[in-house]
């Protein structure tokens, strides 16, 4: 069993850290809101640290799941960041969805300190974290990913090593590009079916077993038809992720016309007050006939 520091106990990080504790690992946790860290420790045991650096002292592995590039930079390279106290030979795993640029930067910073790093964004949402069924896409060296796999299996259903430093993050961008496109098609299909006055349950039964089937259809068709969106992965977070993909595309020369359009449609839904609604609320952008 490993000594693990876990930084970031939000809707994703809290359950993931909980699975590690239940697997028998020894955890020290840090969260920007100390109250949330204390609540987690009361539920799962372990220690609460007052800073990322304190959490990382003596840890074999440091795992983070925070908000964005700035948050990740602060908890790793800031004045009280984890990299200040991580020992040589230890492992850093980041589950935040961030830019490939900062993932590569942390790889370089880690190498200079003798710290192994893995960028390991996840897919599966809050339910996947709670049920220990996340899909994880990993960037880093063979040795670092092999070591990370041993602990990540506590909350993952699938772990894939996709390439070197930053490859995990760019693969997550691929994931979000796919989701945006699928949800736009699903939104148009649903509105078309409604305009045609079809029985939506029968339409779903007819098409969900064929080539049109997708996770989004299986899990979002009915709630989209019910205009129910107060759950799931928030539009605010999806726009952050699509922004990362569009930024990376400008750097690597890829063209993402549908992604750019969907991003703007999400901006329209935000203007309608949908910031915290599930990404399937994209359908609100298309007026019901």
Mean pLDDT of the chain: 97
Q: Which CATH number fits domain 170-285: 1.10.1040.10, 3.20.20.70, 3.40.50.300, 1.20.910.10?
A: 1.10.1040.10
Whole-number percent of the chain with pLDDT over 70: 100
Residue 24's CB is within 10 A of a number of other CB atoms, namely 9
Position 65 scores a pLDDT of 98
pLDDT at 186 over 80: yes
Would you say 89 and 110 are in contact if contact means Cβ atoms under 8 Å apart? no
> In terms of Cα–Cα distance, which of 51, 53, 47, 64 is closest to 118?
64
Residue 147, CA distances (Å) to 94, 116, 129, 136 in order:
14, 10, 20, 14
Residues of the chain with CATH 3.40.50.720: 3-164
Whole-number percent of the chain with pLDDT over 90: 98
Q: How confident is the model at residue 256 (pLDDT cuts 50, 70, 90)?
A: very high
Position 1 scores a pLDDT of 87
Structure tokens at 279: 């990404």
Averaged pLDDT, 229-257: 96
CA distance 65 to 14: 9
CA distance 54 to 267: 39
What phi and psi values does residue 111 have, to the nearest 5 degrees? Answer: -60, -40
Averaged pLDDT, 218-236: 96
54 a catalytic residue: no
Say whether 289 sits in a helix, a strand or coil: coil
Select which of 36, 38, 54, 172 is catalytic: 172
Identify the burial level of 225 via C-beta atoms within 10 angstroms of its C-beta, where 0-12 means exposed, 13-18 middle and 19 or more buried: middle
Residues of the chain with CATH 1.10.1040.10: 170-285
CA distance 212 to 206: 10
Q: How confident is the model at residue 116 (pLDDT cuts 50, 70, 90)?
A: very high
Residues forming a β-bridge with 26:
3
How many helices (H) and strands (E) are present in the chain, helices listed first? Answer: 12, 9
Position 289 scores a pLDDT of 74
CA distance 167 to 15: 25
DSSP E strands in 52-144: the ranges are 61-64, 91-94, 116-119, 122-123, 134-139
Position 221 scores a pLDDT of 97
Structure tokens at 1: 């069993």
CATH of domain 3-164: 3.40.50.720
Position 288 scores a pLDDT of 81
């Amino acid at each position: 069993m490993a000594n693990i520091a876990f930084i970031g106990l939000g809707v994703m990080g809290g359950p993931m850290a909980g699975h590690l504790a239940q697997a028998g690992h020894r955890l020290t946790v840090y969260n920007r809101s100390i109250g949330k860290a204390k609540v987690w420790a009361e539920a799962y045991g372990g220690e609460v640290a007052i800073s990322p650096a304190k959490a990382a002292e003596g840890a074999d592995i440091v795992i983070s799941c925070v908000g964005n590039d700035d948050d990740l930079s602060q908890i790793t390279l800031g004045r009280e960041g984890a990299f200040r106290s991580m020992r040589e030979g230890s492992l850093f795993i980041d589950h935040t969805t961030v830019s490939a640029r900062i993932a590569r930067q942390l790889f370089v910073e880690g190498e200079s300190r003798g710290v192994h790093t893995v960028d390991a964004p996840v897919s599966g949402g809050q339910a996947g974290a709670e049920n220990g069924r996340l899909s994880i896409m990993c960037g880093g060296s063979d040795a670092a990913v092999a070591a990370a796999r041993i602990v990540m299996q506590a909350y993952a259903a699938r772990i894939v090593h996709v390439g070197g430093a930053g490859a995990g993050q760019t693969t997550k961008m691929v994931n979000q590009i796919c989701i945006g496109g699928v949800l736009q098609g699903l939104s148009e299909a649903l509105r078309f079916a409604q305009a045609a006055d079809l029985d939506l349950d029968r339409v779903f039964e007819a098409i969900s077993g064929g080539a049109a089937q997708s996770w989004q259809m299986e899990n979002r068709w009915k709630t989209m038809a019910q205009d129910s969106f107060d759950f799931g992965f928030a539009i605010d977070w999806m726009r952050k992720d699509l922004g990362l993909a569009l930024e990376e595309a400008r750097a690597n020369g890829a063209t993402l016309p549908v992604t750019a359009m969907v991003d703007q449609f999400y901006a329209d839904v935000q203007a309608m007050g949908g910031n915290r609604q599930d990404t399937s609320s994209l359908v609100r952008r298309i007026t019901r006939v």
